[in-house]
Amino acid sequence: MKALLLLLMVSVVFAAKQYDGEQVLRIHPEHEGHLEKLVRLERSEQLLDFWQGPTSLSRPVDVRVPKDLLREVKTMLENTGMEYMVLVDDLQQSISMARSRHTRSFGFNFDDYNNYYEIDCQLQDFEASYPSLASIFSIGTTYEGRDIRAIKVGAAGSNKPAVFLEGQLHARDWIVSATLMYNIKFLLEGYGSDNQTTSLMDQVDFYFIPVTNVDGYVYTHDVDRMWKKTRSDLVGSQCIGVDANRNWEHYGTGISTNPCSDEYLGSRAFSEPETVAVRDLVLTNSNNLKAYLSVHAYGQYWMSPYGWTTTLPPDYDEQKDLAERAVNAIYSVNGKTFNYGTTAETLGEASGSSCDWAYTVAGIKYSYAIKLRGGYYGFVLPADQIQPSAKEFFAGLLVVAEQVAAEY
Residue ranges of the domains in the chain?
A: 11-98, 116-232+240-407
Averaged pLDDT of the chain? 92
pLDDT band at residue 260 using 50, 70 and 90 as cut-offs? very high
Average pLDDT over residues 364-379: 95
The per-residue pLDDT for 33 is 92
Q: If you average pLDDT over residues 358-384, what whole number do you get?
A: 96
Q: How confident is the model at residue 59 (pLDDT cuts 50, 70, 90)?
A: confident
Strand order, beta sheet including 339-342:
134-141, 147-153, 205-209, 162-167, 289-297, 366-372, 301-304, 339-342
Longest Cα–Cα distance of the chain, Å, equals 64
Phi, psi of 12 (to 5 degrees): -65, -45
Alpha carbon of residue 313 to chain centroid = 23
Question: 163 pairs with which residues across the strands?
Answer: 206, 291
Buried b / exposed e over 227-238, threshold 16 CB at 10 Å, is bbbbbbebeeee
> How does pLDDT run across 278-299, given as a tens digit for each residue?
999 999 999 999 999 999 999 9
Which CATH code is given to the segment(s) 11-98?
3.30.70.340
**Model confidence over 201-259: pLDDT tens digits?**
999 999 999 999 999 999 999 999 999 999 999 999 999 999 999 999 877 666 789 99
pLDDT band at 102 (very low <50, low <70, confident <90, very high): low
Same fold, 11-98 and 116-232+240-407: no
Lowest mean pLDDT across 53-62, 187-196, 314-323, 361-370:
53-62
User: Model confidence at 103, in pLDDT bands (50, 70, 90)?
Assistant: low
Cis peptide before 368 (omega within 30 of 0): no
> What pLDDT shows up at residue 8?
40
Q: Is the pLDDT of residue 4 over 80?
A: no
Specify whether the CB–CB gap between 343 and 353 falls below 8 A. Answer: yes
Q: How much is the pTM?
A: 0.93
Residue with the larger pLDDT of the pair 339 and 254 = 339
pLDDT at 205 (0 to 100):
98
Mean pLDDT value across residues 64-71: 95
CATH 3.40.630.10 applies to domain 116-232+240-407: yes
pLDDT at 10: 41
pLDDT-wise least confident of 245-249, 268-272, 275-279, 346-350:
346-350
Q: What does the pLDDT look like over 33-54, one tens digit per residue?
A: 999 999 888 887 778 999 999 9
In the chain the first and final C-alpha atoms are separated, in Å, by 52
